[in-house]
């Protein structure tokens, strides 16, 4: 089994949705990506939590195949994010971002993780993502996520980072912001010129586009009644990279299938609050949903 490395945030979130308020919900980009990647491959996790982070969760991650030896426990409180979704889940407002121990996060990649071939740089400061890249040796594929916060506040570092990553995963609105263009064909052209050879543009409930060299692929989203979209993007990225690692291939056909596997995992993520659904999910259920995805886009050409 080939491994993947995940670096990003681990959080205890507060989520307000139509069902009410949910407190101390497990969250963070690295959490969702590790849980979904672990369906396909061994996951080496690097992140920081506070002394309030429940041991039971660390055990759950381990049981799921996540190596938590790169998880630092720092004096203080775990990163906390609080958000409120509109009842139709089409938008959310951030109420609080308490960095806590995450404020001083300086990722240290353990020696045993430095040769991990597949690397996911979760959504953290581009300078930190660059520092992770400086610590790893000869990765086969590096995938990075980012957000408007860094496009607004750390554009130069982000541009430096993009020259060193293979796959950029970004949502549609942020892709438009970063490229300064509107039509996706122009957006993709601009972003690919910035460095990555592969680009994935996420469109939430409408699916995702994959631009891999000359290959363009469109994946639908699964039709379902979502409960909590928190972490869907990270679940997608983790599932995508985990699948690629399990095939140990970066050929366009593998990347296409990986987008569907990532989409399947993201669809399970939104069915529960936080990662609740992912934590009880079986490999068979994932395979069954991938087949449903296949049926969704299958057509015959007379």
| Residues making contact with ligand AMP (CB under 6 A) | 9, 11, 13, 27-29, 81, 97, 123-124, 149, 230-234
Least distance CB 262 / ligand AMP (angstroms): 12
Nearer to ligand AMP, 117 or 230 (CB): 230
User: In terms of CB distance, is 67 or 174 closer to ligand AMP?
Assistant: 174
In the complex, minimum distance from the CB of residue 229 to ligand AMP, in angstroms, rounded to a whole number: 6
Q: How far separated are the first and last CA of the chain, in Å rounded?
A: 41
Q: How far is the CB of 279 from ligand AMP (least distance, A)?
A: 14
Extract the tokens encoding 121. 């740089």
How many residues does this entry show for the chain? Answer: 302
Instruction: Please identify, using beta-carbon distances, which residue of 24 and 114 lies nearer to ligand AMP.
Output: 24
State the nearest-atom distance from the C-beta of 30 to ligand AMP, in Å: 9
Q: Which residue is nearest to ligand AMP (CB)?
A: 27
27 or 117: whose CB is closer to ligand AMP?
27
Which residue, 46 or 117, has its beta carbon nearer to ligand AMP? 46
Residue nearer to ligand AMP on the CB measure, 53 or 117? 53
φ, ψ of residue 277 in degrees (nearest 5) = -70, -40
Residue 117 or 169 having the CB closest to ligand AMP:
169
Which residue lies nearer to ligand AMP by CB, 30 or 117?
A: 30
Output the smallest distance, CB 97 to ligand AMP, in A: 5
Q: How far is the CB of 13 from ligand AMP (least distance, A)?
A: 5
For the chain, what is the HEC assignment? Answer: CCEEEEECCCEEEEEEECCEEEEEEEECHHHHHHHHHCCCCEEEEEEEEECCCCHHHHHHHHHCCEEEEEEEEECCCCEEEEEEECCCCCCEEEEEEECHHHHHCCCCCCHHHCCCCEEEECCCCHHHHHHHHHHCCCCCEEEEECCHHHHHHCHHHHHHHHCCCCEEEEEHHHHHHHHCCCCHHHHHHHHHHCCCCEEEEECHHHCEEEEECCEEEEECCCCCCCCCCCCHHHHHHHHHHHHHHHHCCCCHHHHHHHHHHHHHHHHHHCCCCCCHHHHCCCHHHHHHHHHHHHHHHCCCCC
Distance of closest approach, residue 107 Cβ to ligand AMP, in angstroms = 13
CB of 27 to ligand AMP, least distance (A): 3
Task: Please state, as a whole number, how many other Cβ atoms lie within 10 Å of the Cβ of residue 114.
Answer: 14
């Amino acid at each position: 089994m080939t491994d993947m490395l995940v670096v990003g945030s681990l959080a205890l979130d507060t989520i307000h949705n139509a069902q009410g308020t949910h407190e101390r919900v497990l969250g963070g980009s690295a959490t969702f990506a590790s849980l979904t990647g672990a369906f396909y491959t061994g996951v080496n996790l690097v992140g920081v939590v506070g002394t309030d982070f429940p041991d039971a969760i660390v055990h759950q991650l381990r049981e799921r195949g996540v190596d938590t030896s790169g998880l630092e426990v720092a004096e203080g409180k775990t990163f906390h994010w609080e958000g409120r979704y509109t009842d139709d889940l089409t938008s959310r407002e951030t109420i609080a971002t308490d960095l806590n121990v995450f404020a001083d996060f300086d990722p240290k990649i353990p020696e045993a993780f430095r040769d991990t071939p597949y690397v996911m740089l979760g959504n953290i400061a581009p300078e930190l993502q660059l520092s992770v890249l400086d610590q790893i040796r000869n990765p086969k594929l590096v995938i990075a996520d980012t957000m408007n916060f860094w496009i607004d506040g750390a554009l130069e570092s982000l541009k430096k980072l993009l020259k060193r990553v293979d796959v950029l995963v970004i949502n549609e609105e942020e892709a438009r912001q970063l490229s300064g263009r509107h039509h996706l064909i122009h957006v993709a052209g601009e972003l690919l010129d910035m460095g990555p050879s592969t680009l994935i543009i996420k469109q939430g409930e409408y699916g995702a586009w994959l631009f891999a060299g000359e290959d363009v692929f469109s994946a639908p989203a699964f039709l379902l009644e979502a409960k909590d979209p928190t972490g869907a993007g990270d679940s997608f990225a983790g599932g995508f990279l985990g699948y690629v690692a399990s095939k140990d291939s970066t050929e366009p056909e593998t990347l296409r299938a990986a987008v569907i596997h990532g989409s399947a995992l993201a669809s399970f993520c939104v069915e529960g609050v936080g990662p609740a659904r992912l934590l009880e999910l079986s490999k068979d259920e994932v395979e069954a949903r991938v087949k449903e995805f296949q049926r969704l886009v299958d057509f015959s050409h007379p």
